[in-house]
Amino acid sequence: RERAKKEVEEEREASRREADRINSELRQQAEEKARAELQEGLRNKEKEAEAAAEAAKERERERDAEIQRLKGELDASKQKQQADRLNSLPSKVAEAKGMASKLRETQDQEGELLQKSPEKLARGADGGLSPGKLSPQKSDKTK
């Protein structure tokens, strides 16, 4: 009887040790699996971060290209405006010469009027001309 008790006790102890060993192995396997899943998750996150960084770099390259294109358009627009201004100069010069010619003609007419009848101008009997208004011209404000 003592021996049977001892054998049962030894079997229980052996079963407990075996259960502890199995539980330990299972815990270790679970830890290894969790560690592997965590590492896989980290690798995936790194890949996602790299992809996002690459996408951001691509967007930056596209933005820089668009900025350069817009700068080129702006430069071309400025050059066109300058060319238009330069091309319009001859017509503006001709217009200014015409105005100067009209002014000289008006001044010549005023001079002639002053030489012909200085006493009429002084009296104000010159047909509507006065010293402040020496030339009966129409008001022309066109360019």
Within 10 A of 109 (CB to CB), how many other CB atoms are there?
14
pLDDT at residue 1, as a whole number: 83
Q: What is the C-alpha to C-alpha distance for residues 27 and 88, in angstroms, rounded to an integer?
A: 90
133 pairs with which residues across the strands? 130
Where the chain has pLDDT below 70, the residues are 117-143
pLDDT at residue 143, as a whole number: 42
Residue type, 50: E
What is the value of pTM for the model shown? Answer: 0.42
pLDDT at residue 111, as a whole number: 87
pLDDT at residue 125, as a whole number: 52
